[in-house]
């Protein structure tokens, strides 16, 4: 039997991109899935395109930035099948803005979704997993959870912070048989750059070239699910960009110089 068969799995950010690809693969592998995101119409589309079987899928619209609603949502998710085996914290928003343009409200909104949304949803399901003495928390970080690049200062910070938090949680709950996996994608061809916040909180609305050339989410999903099933603690999936993390560990000064040279701040001030 495969790792996911008959398991109940909750995926946030299931209305597009990586989350949507995970839904298709997990349904094919015999899991029962709770799908969450803000756009209910998109969740209904994902539900229809994956068999529309209410025994196998529960549509649970949710804004992970509304922290006061997460515990009620967790109760609904757990009550559906009477248990929750895996939580995939995938919902997230990226950023395309310079530090000097960005105000504190936008910084807080990114942290509310990417960091506190993930932390609080995990805390909402944790007592259930601790009682069962089993479970698996999966967290969608990024290569940018290990290194930082221009115009993503807050996004990188939210993803770096997830590593600090979930490495500690892993150590706390290891003895209870609950696993924690941090997933670090490179460039995946989704709408992440289109949905990214600009300095004023509006959408970047552009499919960046690096994203357009990225790995297809359907390819990413299969690679990711294999490594999650192997209970890997942390791993990277993507193209050549994932080697930047190793380079940073071995030659931090070199990566720092490369990142500096590509800084769009320099280009902006040279041209303005
Ligand atoms: N694509 C990449 O290259 C890449 C690389 C590294 C990491 N990642 C990470 O992968 C994850 C998935 O992103 P993606 O690439 O698939 O981008 P995407 O296509 O933009 O998907 C993002 C998903 O998150 C949901 N979401 C956003 N804000 C939410 C909120 N407040 N509450 C609930 N759901 C919310 C969106 O649905 P609604 O709009 O319907 O809420 C959507 O389903 C993110 O955490 C991202 O940081 C992506």
Report the distance separating Cα 7 and Cα 157, nearest Å.
Answer: 32
Report the distance separating Cα 63 and Cα 128, nearest Å.
Answer: 21
What's the token pair of residue 122? 């995990």
Q: Note the CATH architecture for domain 8-242.
A: 3-Layer(aba) Sandwich (3.40)
- Which atom in ligand 1 lies closest to the alpha carbon of residue 18? 16
In tens digits, the chain (272 residues) has pLDDT values of 799 999 999 999 999 999 999 999 999 999 999 999 999 999 999 999 999 999 999 999 999 999 999 999 999 999 999 999 999 999 999 999 999 999 999 999 999 999 999 999 999 999 999 999 999 999 999 999 999 999 999 999 999 999 999 999 999 999 999 999 999 999 999 999 999 999 999 999 999 999 999 999 999 999 999 999 999 999 999 999 999 999 999 999 999 999 988 766 555 555 44
The b/e string for 256-267 (b: 16+ C-beta within 10 A; e otherwise) is eeeeeeeeeeee
Alpha-helical segments (H) within 114-263:
117-132, 153-173, 209-212, 217-229, 243-250, 252-261
CA angle 200/202/203 to nearest 5° reads 135
Q: What is the whole-number distance in angstroms between the Cα of residue 269 and the centre of ligand 1?
A: 31
What integer pLDDT is reported at residue 262 of this predicted model? 73
- Which atom in ligand 1 lies closest to the alpha carbon of residue 91? 24
Helix, strand, or coil (residue 152): coil
187 flagged as catalytic: no
Give me the residue spans of the domains in the chain: 8-242
- Mutate which of 13, 25, 119 to test ligand 1's pocket (most atoms within 8 Å of Cβ)? 13
- Which atom in ligand 1 lies closest to the alpha carbon of residue 193? 20
Tell me if 39 CB under 6 Å of ligand 1. yes
């Amino acid at each position: 039997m495969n790792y996911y068969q008959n398991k109940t799995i909750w995926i946030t950010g299931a209305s597009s991109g990586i989350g949507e690809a995970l839904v298709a693969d997990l349904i094919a592998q015999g899991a029962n899935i709770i799908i969450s995101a803000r756009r209910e119409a998109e969740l209904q589309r994902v539900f229809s395109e994956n068999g529309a079987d209410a025994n196998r899928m529960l549509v649970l619209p949710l804004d992970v930035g509304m922290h006061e609603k997460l515990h009620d949502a967790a109760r609904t998710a757990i009550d559906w099948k009477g248990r929750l085996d895996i939580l995939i914290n995938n919902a997230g928003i990226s950023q395309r803005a310079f530090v000097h343009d960005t105000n504190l409200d936008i910084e807080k909104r990114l942290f509310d979704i990417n960091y506190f949304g993930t932390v609080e949803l995990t805390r909402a399901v944790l007592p259930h997993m601790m009682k069962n003495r089993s479970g698996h928390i999966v967290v969608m970080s990024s290569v940018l959870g290990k290194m930082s690049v221009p115009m993503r200062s807050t996004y990188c910070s939210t993803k770096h912070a997830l590593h600090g938090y979930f490495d500690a949680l892993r150590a706390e709950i290891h003895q209870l048989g609950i696993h924690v996996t941090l997933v670090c994608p490179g460039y995946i061809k989704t709408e992440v750059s289109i949905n990214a916040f600009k300095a004023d909180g509006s959408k970047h609305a552009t499919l960046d070239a690096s994203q357009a050339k990225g790995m297809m989410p359907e390819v990413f999903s299969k690679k990711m699910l294999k490594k999650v099933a192997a209970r890997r603690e942390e791993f990277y999936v993507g193209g050549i960009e994932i080697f930047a993390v190793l380079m940073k560990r071995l030659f931090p000064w070199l990566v720092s110089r490369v990142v500096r040279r590509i800084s769009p701040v320099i280009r902006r001030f040279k041209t303005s």
